[in-house]
Amino acid sequence: MRADYLALVVSTRAHGEHGAVVRLMTEEDGLLAAYVRGARGRRLGPVLVPGNLVGAALAARTETQLPHASVELVHSRGPLLSEPLPAAAIAWATSLVAAALPEGQAYPAVHGALVALLEAVEAAPSVSGWGAALVRFELLMLRELGFGLDLEACAVTGEADDLVAVSPKSGRAVSAGAAKPYRGQLLPLPSFLAQGGSAGLHDVLDGLRLSGHFLERDLLIDRAAKALDARARLVGLLERAAGER
């Protein structure tokens, strides 16, 4: 098969008796949807798992018709599905892309970040290996779709030092001194986002609370909100691992 695209599978939705509408994230053309005949069969089922890398050839009779796709496996992340946290992270990251991006528009930064995140999950399945990358991926999605946060300087003082919180309304960072009168009203800004460096599990959870607020408010609304179910499963696993429940 001659592949038109090297693509990441980000979602499959049953269509007909054996087929499925599959969404693919490509570097060239962003998110693409196509019908795959036999997608739920024994041969293609393991291929069309979200997170897998496939070669895909697309064909349609007209520009308005949903194209048909032929796919072949390039790289499988199926072995990670038996590990709860990596499996949940992959399910959420791919669900976010499938739900939030418009089809047929290139988002090379999102594609590159998704590839890097999946590779990080695969290389180091423990949260310390990919948790910070996941938070940064969520923030990148917000930025690429017009809802970026300003974490460079304090919204009150204009200074870039000692940033510890974010306004849930404006999405702008706040320094420790300026945040004192508003304790309990601001979102925590973990140090790995403000200063760089590594992130522990509690830091990752703080980062997810930050990005999650804006994802729910601005991006994943209406029908796209269903994708948040995958995020809730992941966050629940992380909270149990951290002993926060």
Summarize pLDDT for 111-120 with one digit per residue, the tens: 999 999 999 9
Structural domain boundaries of the chain?
5-76, 81-151+189-242
Q: What is the pLDDT of residue 64?
A: 74
How much of the chain, in percent, has pLDDT values that exceed 70? 98
CATH class of the domain at 81-151+189-242: mainly alpha
Residue 184 in this model has a pLDDT that exceeds 80: yes
What DSSP state is assigned to residue 179?
A: H
Is pLDDT above 70 for 2? no
Evaluate if residue 125 carries a pLDDT over 80. Answer: no
DSSP state of 46: T
Average pLDDT of the segment spanning 24-42 = 94
Q: Is the pTM of this model over 0.85?
A: yes
User: Does 245 score more than 60 pLDDT?
Assistant: no
Residue 244 confidence (pLDDT) above 80: no
Query: Which CATH number among 2.40.50.140, 1.20.210.10, 3.90.700.10, 3.30.70.20 corresponds to the domain 5-76?
Result: 2.40.50.140
| Positive or negative torsion for Cα 218, 144, 53, 104 | positive
pLDDT for 126 equals 86
Distances (CA, A) of 176 to 151, 182, 214: 13, 10, 21
